[in-house]
Amino acid sequence: MLVFAQSVRADLLTLRNASFEEPALAREGTNATASADGWIIDGTAGVFVNNGAFGNRMEGAVGEQLGFLNGTKAGSLQQIVAEKLDTLTVYSAKALVGLRKDTPLVKGASLLIKLQAVDADGKVLRTLGVKEILVGREPLSDERLTEFVASYTAGVSAPKGRLRVLVAVGDAKGEKGDWTIDSVRVEASPAPGDLAARLTLAADPRARQKGASGGKKVR
Ligand SMILES: [Ca+2]
């Protein structure tokens, strides 16, 4: 049997300050700020220097700074990554996530990575993909970052609206506690051939009928 290696090209959508390197802070001491260039922040979030001053220096980080999001109350970091969605396309939002040694989150606190279709005013039209990251269930660490992915596959008709990536507090718990976030990416790649064929078939009963009748044309 021949097996063909699948080389699907993934486009990286444009995300500003995906690695939380801006604003750039002094590298020494406890440096953090409640802002992050390019991101719309709700609640308490920002960037800090990954030098171990806030607990441990995190392994697996990209660059010198990390993002934080307070996990004890509602809050989020969000950004538009595309003006429209394409058909027959797999969208994957990826983020590196960890805990903080100095402000640990309690069991049951959760973080959500979401892909959403939103209108021009930012109103959510549809949540397309969600990954829930739960303290006590996921392999989270205050020493190294772990990658999590939320995915969505657009069918033959793509959802209306702009595409937004949102990293949000799910269950807010505890007296203190911060999420650590780095290297947020959203990739778009063509749906693999067999999946694209299934989606096309599912969307068009006539095509299904045609298949069932052995290729005879059905109008
Ligand atoms: Ca970074």
Domain ranges of the chain: 11-191
What is residue 39's predicted lDDT score, i.e. its pLDDT? 98
What is residue 214's predicted lDDT score, i.e. its pLDDT? 45
**How far, in Å, from the CA of 181 to the mean position of ligand 1?**
8
DSSP string, 178-192: EEEEEEEEEEEEEPP
Residue 26 burial by CB count (10 A; 0-12/13-18/19+): exposed, middle or buried?
Answer: exposed
**How far, in Å, from the CA of 41 to the mean position of ligand 1?**
17
**How far, in Å, from the CA of 211 to the mean position of ligand 1?**
50
Is the pLDDT at 4 greater than 60, yes or no?
Answer: no
**How far, in Å, from the CA of 119 to the mean position of ligand 1?**
29
**pTM for the complete prediction?**
0.89
Q: Which of 20, 78, 28 is nearest to 52 (CA)?
A: 28
**How far, in Å, from the CA of 214 to the mean position of ligand 1?**
55
**How far, in Å, from the CA of 64 to the mean position of ligand 1?**
6
**How far, in Å, from the CA of 183 to the mean position of ligand 1?**
6
Which residue reads 């190294």 in tokens? 144
pLDDT per position as a tens digit, 109-148: 999 999 999 999 999 999 999 999 999 999 999 999 999 9
Q: What mean pLDDT do residues 194-210 have?
A: 80
**How far, in Å, from the CA of 39 to the mean position of ligand 1?**
14
Question: How, if at all, do strands 146-154 and 124-134 pair?
Answer: unpaired
What is residue 9's predicted lDDT score, i.e. its pLDDT? 79
**How far, in Å, from the CA of 32 to the mean position of ligand 1?**
13
Mean pLDDT, all residues of the chain? 92
Question: Domain 11-191 has what CATH class?
Answer: mainly beta
State the Cα torsion 135-49-131-125 to the nearest 10°.
Answer: 130
* Bigger pLDDT: 214 vs 16: 16
Looking at the chain, list the stretches that DSSP marks H as alpha helix, in order from N- to C-terminal side.
Answer: 193-203, 205-212
Q: Using a pLDDT cut of 90, give the percent of the chain over it.
A: 84
Q: What mean pLDDT do residues 80-107 have?
A: 97
**How far, in Å, from the CA of 33 to the mean position of ligand 1?**
14
pLDDT per position as a tens digit, 8-57: 678 999 999 999 999 999 999 999 999 999 999 999 999 999 999 999 99
d(CA 200, CA 184): 31
